[in-house]
Structure 1
Amino acid sequence: MNTVKRFAPSAARILLGLVFFVFGLNGFLQFLPQPPAPEAAVRFGAALAATGYMFPLIKGTEVVAGALLLSNRYVPLALALLAPIVVNIVAFHTFLTPPNPVAWLVLALEVYLAFAYRAAFRPMLAARVDAGAPASAGVERGKLRPVESAA
């Protein structure tokens, strides 16, 4: 295995983890200045803050998932937690602010890591698994297969 293939997932994991850990903490501590935003983006942020729970929930999830990625623990869980946040980041920077290439970089890192950890997601893609079945039920030699019911 060449060096790039060997270290690319780790580099992507650390970079994505840093982005979410730092910007998640910034949501609570405000140590990075906010750039000026268009009115629509300001209204969106104000609406999230007005709920009283959504903004802390999003930023808390970012901090936890970023820490998981940085520590190389529960990486597939962190990627699953971040997926809807990443989609919202891309949508926000596509529709409410001037285009931001960092949003697309975050999306690319998320998709790349999901592909790199695809074996961990494979059991979730089984069309039918009986309750209480082991996590590997429905997956055989890397391919999805139907699970036969005992009834």
Structure 2
Amino acid sequence: MDAALPSSTPGVEATPKKKSFARHLPTAARVFMGLVFFVFGLNGFLEFIPTPKDLNPADPAVAFGIAMKATGFLFWLVKGTETVAGLLLLSNRFVPLALAIIAPVIVNIFLTHALLAPAGLGLAVMLLAAELFLAWSYRAVYRPMLAMRVTPS
């Protein structure tokens, strides 16, 4: 007798709606980026992931890292930015701001691995893809920021 009910009956659907897996992709990308940046950002301060002992200081990627530390501030600024952005992404707070703050770091990571250390290019590409996907997912938030002419209020 239930099959005879019309689909307009309140609370009864003719065909159940399937829930899309795609609705979870922004959350998965956000958590992935948050974990990567929070862990590697904290590692810059606490050094809980051991560095390989066979690093060659003449290697351009290693020299770049040494130069960042030698500035006295740049390495700590980048690692602090990674940690804060990762925490914001993991806590789902100020996500568009975190994405905007971490974007230059991601470009640097990608270019460093593309040009100096190709071994880590896979993770760099995944981070860049996640950043672009999330920026697209939050595009409505960025629309006012990207307006060509804006009058201050």
- TM class, shorter-length: 0.7 to 0.9
Q: Aligned pair 1:25/2:46, yes or no?
A: no
CA distance in 2, matches of 1:94, 1:106: 13
Q: Is the 8 A contact 1:37 1:97 kept in 2?
A: no
- TM-score normalised by structure 2 residue count: 0.82
Q: Which runs of 5+ in 1 are unaligned?
A: 133-151
Percent identical residues: 56
Q: Which runs of 5+ in 2 are unaligned?
A: 1-17
Q: 1:106 aligns with which of 106, 117, 127?
A: 127
| One-letter identity of the residue aligned with 1:111 | L
Q: Aligned pair 1:4/2:9, yes or no?
A: no
Q: Is the 8 A contact 1:20 1:62 kept in 2?
A: yes
- The runs of 4+ residues in structure 1 deviating greater than 6 Å are none
Q: Aligned pair 1:51/2:86, yes or no?
A: no
Residues 37-70 of structure 1 show CA distances to partners (whole Å, capped at 9, x for unaligned) of 5611111111110111101100000000000000
**SS of 2:27 mapped into structure 1:** helix
Matching residue of 2:116: 96
- Kindly indicate whether structure 1 or structure 2 has the higher relative contact order, using CA contacts under 8 Å at least 6 residues apart: 2
CA distance in 1, matches of 2:115, 2:71: 22
- 1:34 Cα shift? 2.5
Give the direction of change, closer, same or farther, for the CA distance of 1:34–1:6 in structure 2 (3 Å limit). same
Matching residue of 2:15: none
CA distance in 2, matches of 1:37, 1:4: 42
Matching residue of 1:124: 145
| One-letter identity of the residue aligned with 1:102 | L
- Per mean C-alpha deviation after superposition, the further-off stretch among 119-128 and 2-11 is 2-11
CA distance in 2, matches of 1:25, 1:14: 16
| One-letter identity of the residue aligned with 2:40 | F
- TM-score normalised by structure 1 residue count: 0.83
Paired residues, what number? 132
Q: Which has the larger radius of gyration?
A: 2
- Per mean C-alpha deviation after superposition, the further-off stretch among 30-39 and 55-64 is 30-39
